[in-house]
Structure 1
Amino acid sequence: MDLTWEALTVDARDPQGCARWWAETLGWELAPDGIEVRPPDGRRPSLFFVPATGDKAAKNRLHLDLRAPDRAAAAEHLMARGATRADIGQGDDVEWIVLRDPEGNEFCLL
């Protein structure tokens, strides 16, 4: 069987707004449909945002891990753009920073 990972699909109350936020965060391109975010080199996978109703109710079971040379500076920059710190039970002794995007989806800065 030949399978290729095409996209990670994310539920969002505002798919276009969330897609724009992630496109800017990653330095990726926003597809013409306004709800898909693609790496600039055209490779896959992409992030695809679909409409969801209601608020997010629980911790994500799947999340993105991002690497930043200066985690603290990256966290500060992302929070200035609408991200928030997240306590998902990781404790104070971990090396990564857990944040939520403006839709409440957790992601980590490694």
Structure 2
Amino acid sequence: MPATLHHVVIDSHDLPAQARFWAAVLDWRILSEREREVVIGPDVNAPVGICFMPAPETKTVKNRLHLDLTTGPTEQEAEIERILGLGARRVEIGQTGDESWTVLADPEGNEFCVVRPKNTLIG
């Protein structure tokens, strides 16, 4: 059997705060909270979740891996505003202004995108 994706792991300073932010963004819930690991997901039996692990260093450069979020057909701008209200901020990483996505950062500076609405992984 091939390997399957289990968790996306995000290094964090404040694991509970990061977990609460991302759970609110994704409408997920905190599934497990330990001192050195907090796991969120839509359900304990979901195929993939996000795990927050402690990291002593501060983020200093653009992420090499980031999450892309999408919305319903007419909700992209409203969703961006909602996420900003949860504690995200807009960031510039070299965009031209013509992109179909918006780059945001979570409260600890990890970049992610809210992309145009999509129905499949490729379109």
TM-score, structure 2 normalization: 0.83
Moved more, 98-107 or 71-80: 71-80
Shift of 1:52: 1.2
* Alignment partner of 1:12 is 2:12: yes
The answer on whether the counterparts of 2:31 and 2:43 sit within 8 Å (CA) in structure 1 is no
Question: For 2:29 and 2:92, how far apart are their aligned partners in 1?
Answer: 30
Question: For 2:2 and 2:111, how far apart are their aligned partners in 1?
Answer: 31
Q: Equivalent pairs: percent with the same residue?
A: 39
Instruction: Give the aligned residue type for 1:5.
Output: L
Residue aligning to 1:61: 64
Residue aligning to 2:49: 46
Q: How does 1:77-88 map to 2 (within 5 A)?
A: 77-88=82-93
Structure 1: runs of 5 or more not aligned: none
* Alignment partner of 1:106 is 2:106: no
Moved more, 41-50 or 76-85: 41-50
Number of residue-to-residue matches in the alignment:
110
The one-character-per-residue Cα deviations of 1:47-69 (angstroms, maximum 9, x if unpaired) are 00011123210000111100023
Shift of 1:27: 0.9
Question: For 2:96 and 2:57, how far apart are their aligned partners in 1?
Answer: 29
Residue aligning to 2:120: none
Shift of 1:15: 1.0
Question: For 1:87 and 1:51, how far apart are their aligned partners in 2?
Answer: 26
* Alignment partner of 1:37 is 2:35: no
Displaced runs of 4+ in structure 1, greater than 3 A?
Answer: none
Question: For 2:94 and 2:76, how far apart are their aligned partners in 1?
Answer: 19
Corresponding residue SS for 2:25? helix
